[in-house]
Amino acid sequence: MKAAIIGASGEAIHTIKKAHEYGIEIAALDGNPEAEGLKYADYPLVVDISDEESTIEALRKEKPDFILTVPIGRYLTTIGAVNDVLGLPGIGRQEAELCTDKWKFHQRLSSRGLRDCRCYLVEEGKLVEEEKSTGQDFEMNLNQIQISFPAILKPRYGSGSRGLFMPNNAKELKEALLKTEGEPYVLEECAAGEEYGVDGAVTKEGFTMVLLRKKENTPPPARQAVGYYSVPPTDAFWQQAEAYMQQVIACLNLKECLLHADLIRGQKGPFIIELSARPSGHNLHNLFTPLCTGVDMAEEYIRYRLGRAYSFVPKRTKSMLIHYFDMQGKVKNVPDVKQAEAALDVRLAAWNCHIKEGEELVPVSDGHSVMGRGYFVLEGTGDVFLHGQAEKLKRLFF
């Protein structure tokens, strides 16, 4: 059999290797001829994946049996378009657009009572609102809107932690709006509470939550995740999150896909920040989730597509933390794995460090500023203890 992968960054390599273990040939597409994943593919194709027609035509010739999704941003819509035109299983373009367009995502979920916050569209630095009878947008001024502060101003498409603003009052909002020209944004109220991540899968049998992860974020406005703590299924929020996610997935009409989502654990229950019908990046789906749960989501999805026995139900949920090197300052020492293990009172389950001695580490502002430094994974008992051990490890560098 043959599968296609659209978006062949280094984060696609795990899925390509798993496919090869099952005798599946891979046609991988990316606009960057140096993309790491292309080196592992049976049929590496340099194609601009933002161009849906070119991608469809390239894959029409390759005739894949299905697409395997990997971490990808806005051009998840290209995957949906390919599935629609070539009649392949998985999400369609309409569903992919709901995952990548924050404005349409909010509109759909809020109309079903699944997202309770005020949200406005921003174009060319100006607030606009859709006039439902005509479908046209008209400009608004700040006196016309009702919004609680702090608010979140974020790019309508993609982003991660890029280009985020968190205005605390109308004056700060006016200043932030001036910086959004040239790109559409959404403005919405900031939901209060702890932030979590979800790894899950949707099959013909329904939704299975594989792992719930509590985030350790940098301060606002970026709120860049620098660590994730596994949450056991016995936690009360697990059941709330699972039930809520089932409703969200039904509302978005997601079928037969891997997914990840970001949630807020608020006083009124779960609140969804965003969701994408593809696996999580940052060494989560390919490393942290399998270590915690015993479930390799890429492998189980391949088995599902091959008609073999599969299961996304976690075999167990270990108490673990994956942490990225979020320190700042001049590095005086870079420990090796043995030195790191000797300094800890917990098991060092994984270690990947790219920091150099003498390097000046800048403050973390977004994913780009931290992910290239590497990560480590700890296994121990309880979030507080794991956090303390992570801080001990990071001090070895200074």
pLDDT at 137: 67
pLDDT at 212: 98
pLDDT at 134: 58
Task: Give dist(CA 180, CA 148) in Å, integer.
Answer: 20
pLDDT at 182: 82
Of residues 149, 163, 282, 147, the one with CA closest to residue 222: 163
Task: Give dist(CA 384, CA 376) in Å, integer.
Answer: 17
pLDDT at 161: 62
Residues of the chain with pLDDT under 70: 130-138, 140, 159-161
Beta strand residue intervals within 240-339, DSSP E: 257-266, 269-276, 320-324, 329-330
Of residues 82, 254, 173, 96, the one with CA closest to residue 104: 96
pLDDT at 102: 96
Q: What pLDDT, in 10s, does the model give residues 29-62? A: 999 999 999 999 999 999 999 999 999 999 999 9
Other C-beta atoms closer than 10 Å to the C-beta of 335 total 16
pLDDT at 331: 97
Q: How many CA atoms, within 13 angstroms, populate the side-chain half-sphere of residue 189? A: 13
CA dihedral 79, 85, 91, 94 (to 10 degrees): 90
CB 359 within 8 A of CB 340: no
| Measured CA distances, 313 to 13, 156, 236, 380 (Å) | 24, 33, 18, 22
Task: Give dist(CA 4, CA 68) in Å, integer.
Answer: 6
Query: What's the pTM?
Result: 0.93
CB 36 within 8 A of CB 59: no
Lookup: tokens for 117 = 């916050």
pLDDT at 338: 97
The separation between the first and the last C-alpha atoms of the chain, rounded to the nearest angstrom, is: 51
pLDDT at 223: 81
pLDDT at 135: 59
Task: Give dist(CA 398, CA 327) in Å, integer.
Answer: 10
pLDDT at 91: 97
DSSP SS3 for 179 = coil
Q: What pLDDT, in 10s, does the model give residues 234-257? A: 999 999 999 999 999 999 999 999
Of residues 211, 230, 244, the one with CA closest to residue 314: 211
pLDDT at 138: 66
List of residues 6+ apart from 136 with CB closer than 8 A: 130
Q: What pLDDT, in 10s, does the model give residues 169-195? A: 999 999 999 898 889 999 999 999 999
